[in-house]
Amino acid sequence: MSSQVDEIGRTDAEPPRKKRVSESPTGSPVAVPIDEGRASLQASSSGINGVNSPKTLNKEATVIVNDTLHVSREASVTVITNERATFRSPRPITMSKSLPEPRDVFGTAPLYLEDSSLPPTLTTAASTSCIDELTSPLPKAKGKGKAKPPKPPKPPTQKEIKAAKAAKLAAEKKMSPVQYAATLPDKWGEHVSKLPRNKLYLSGKCILYVWNEPSGSMQGTRNKMDILYKAGATLMTEYDPERVTHIVASLDTQKNVLQMCGIRKVTELPVHIKTVTWEWIVHQIQGINHTEIYYEPFISRMKQVSQAAKGEAAKDDASSSAKPSYLETSARKREETDDEGSPKKKAKHGSGFQPLQPPSLDASSSSNLDPLAEFYEQAKLMDEFEVEEDEEKPQAVTPSEASEGSKTVSGRWQCDGAPVSSGVCPNQDIVDKLLELREIHSARQGSDDLWRTFSYRKSIANIKAFPKRIESYSGARSIKGVGDKTALKIMEIVQTGELERLKHARTDDIVVAQLFQGIYGVGPATAFSWYSQGLRTLEDVKNGKNGVSLSLVQEIGLKFYDDINDRMPRSEAAEIFCKIRQIALTIDAKLYMEIMGSFRRGKATCGDIDILLTRPTDDGKTHHDVMRVLLRRLHEEKILTYDLATPDDLDDLEATYRGLCQVDTAPGRRQRRIDILSVPYGSLGGALLYYTGDDIFNRSMRLKASLVPRPYIRCLRLLTFCRRARL
């Protein structure tokens, strides 16, 4: 596989700052577009192997980086009220104890909260349609009224009714599906609005129904549309990747899917959009939530699609799997399994479920009891962590996003079905102020500040979850994590609208330290150290004023300061993940991949991309060498551009990669933070549990203030704990 990177060490001899590298240490040519700031660097593509230490790798990276070190810095200090803010998501807590079933039939498509097949009663609007939730002002009552058909002033006679019906039917027959869809609110709006919420099986789902070629009456299509609408779905008539959550199609509408979505391959669909068969809908409506029947898993379907479409496919294959021959076999294998099993069949046979069963649980726990019971127990034990924290700022919804959201609320009442915490918390002002304070503390270096930060994090999260306006000191104190001091601060905010403390706290050093800490790899210590050395701007840092030197990672962090600190649109995260998964599956078709983090939580924007990687071991194999190959491939594909941290042991089943990536190589393409984590297959169960809808789990397993979605690791700990405690 890989070329050895032998003489990497040589870079040691060179002054890291000045040298320009035009050739990779392997001797293989490395394209280093030094002039364009977002140059892709692939040195590490060859360096990804156990032989090389990350250090040497990065070293080379920096050499190049240094040459390009013109940081586009508008010196806007504003950015720096940064990512570290933690907000609680508006998602309310459901108390269900039932565990959602595994639902990824093929073991490759990720599992999303918003796609939860929990019964509707347990589902929330927030968990269904994130984008809308975040962006649309949610005209709640409006939808209903709108949908109500105008009542004729006089009760018509039987005959008239009949005639009208006939006419209507005739008219409907002439309609295109799209036109027909538009009539649904009139037709069923009222009916639907009277339905109890738990009958709205598809509430919150934005469904794009792909109908067959107009080969007949289209009556079937109309019926299905009716059903969808009546089940509370928002029926989409056109493909809007931002809104569509599900695509319903069947095998014979394959072409139409592509057409409707304006794409060439099914694989181009964003991963957050589920493609399901009609059967899935039926199951939803019947309350069979245990299966998810996919129309076309993006990956495995890909081959078939491309075969049909030829040209594209060949190209794709050639470019992506040109090298190791085993890739082809694996690809073929995938194809075979595909062909012999329709999605449906697979669902029934459950082969695809395998990866989703948490095997480790029964395997490693000594008892024969329901393995989940342990987790419930654990969950209770750790219930102190009331609230999940979220790093997104709700108010970060930009005007454009907002307007877009409301604009596209073509359908209306999708919010009706799920009257949930509408997002804005009654104590937002308090939260904001405290957050500011927390930011300040977290920018400081004292150990006290560290704990204060920790403390604020908890209290803020709980305040954010507090359903009503805080009006009194005792009221404030009643909130978990809010002690005397914070309660006093809250009262000050409530009464004066201000927090005196903030005014004094925002000193120059803090502001500058915050600025510096926006550089990846720079924490409080470094930031203040620089400050004390007289540095005040990023420009100073860049110039190495007063002889400060940057670590290799910091160089990258500085160079891409804005890129790293900005959030990316959800769609971009999805796209990158898609590409990566595609490549990964050519390495091993049985890989299980999952995108996590804020994406998974349904955020409209993502601070980074977090990918979980594992592989079922039922055939005796593991993903032990996947990370190495994958990283190499991703570098080759110029998806990965810079390594921030490569796993110490690439062969380890549990490894963490951190780096920068880009969705394509267009000049000026922004670099996005990406983490790829592999876990032993046994931890997957925990990972899934962690993300699975049950809030008792979620809350408790979001152990100890770790913002990091590293469920598997946590799960491991949990298991260890369980074992030790003989649970």
Partner DNA sequence: GCTC
Partner DNA sequence: TATCACG
Partner DNA sequence: GAGCCGCTGATA
CA distance 193 to 554: 56
Point out the catalytic residue in the list 187, 303, 458, 489: 489
Helices (runs of H) and strands (runs of E) counted in the chain: 32, 11
Amino acid at 365: S
Calculate the CA dihedral of residues 661, 665, 666, 667 and round it to 10 degrees.
80
**In this structure, are residues 599 and 606 in contact, taking their beta carbons and an 8 Å threshold?**
yes
The candidate with the shortest Cα–Cα distance to 583, out of 345, 149, 267, is 267
Instruction: From residue 315, give the alpha-carbon distance in Å to each of 299, 309, 626.
Output: 16, 11, 24
CA distance 648 to 288: 45
Min dist. Cβ of residue 356 to DNA (A):
23
Min dist. Cβ of residue 378 to DNA (A):
15
**In this structure, are residues 298 and 245 in contact, taking their beta carbons and an 8 Å threshold?**
no
Closer to DNA by Cβ: residue 343 or 358: 358
Min dist. Cβ of residue 449 to DNA (A):
9
CA angle 579/583/586 to nearest 5° reads 145
Q: Which two tokens stand for residue 186?
A: 């009139």
H/E stretch holding 86: none
Closer to DNA by Cβ: residue 48 or 299: 48
CA distance 108 to 356: 10
CA angle 180/186/187 to nearest 5° reads 70
Closer to DNA by Cβ: residue 120 or 686: 686
Closer to DNA by Cβ: residue 416 or 643: 643
Q: Helix 298-309 crosses helix 254-261 at what angle (to 10 degrees)?
A: 100
The candidate with the shortest Cα–Cα distance to 518, out of 562, 549, 456, is 562
Min dist. Cβ of residue 646 to DNA (A):
5
Closer to DNA by Cβ: residue 326 or 451: 451
Closer to DNA by Cβ: residue 285 or 708: 708
* DSSP letter, residue 151: P
Give the Cβ contact number of residue 227 at 10 Å.
Answer: 18
Q: Which two tokens stand for residue 323?
A: 């090298």
CA distance 698 to 688: 10
Min dist. Cβ of residue 699 to DNA (A):
15
Closer to DNA by Cβ: residue 271 or 487: 487
CA atoms within 13 A on the CB side of 384: 9
Residue ranges binding DNA (CB under 7 A): 54-55, 58, 384, 437, 445, 448, 451-452, 454-456, 459, 480-487, 501, 517, 519-527, 551-553, 557, 608, 610, 645-648, 654, 656, 658, 673, 675, 704-710, 713, 716-717, 720
CA distance 538 to 536: 7
165 classed as catalytic = no
Min dist. Cβ of residue 570 to DNA (A):
18
Q: Which residues pair with residue 596 across a beta bridge?
A: 610
**In this structure, are residues 681 and 614 in contact, taking their beta carbons and an 8 Å threshold?**
yes
Closer to DNA by Cβ: residue 16 or 119: 16
Min dist. Cβ of residue 652 to DNA (A):
8
Closer to DNA by Cβ: residue 285 or 502: 502
In order, the DSSP letters of 291-305 are ---BS--HHHHHHHH
Min dist. Cβ of residue 209 to DNA (A):
37
Min dist. Cβ of residue 324 to DNA (A):
26
H/E stretch holding 57: helix 54-67
**In this structure, are residues 389 and 88 in contact, taking their beta carbons and an 8 Å threshold?**
yes
Indicate which residues carry an active-site annotation: 489
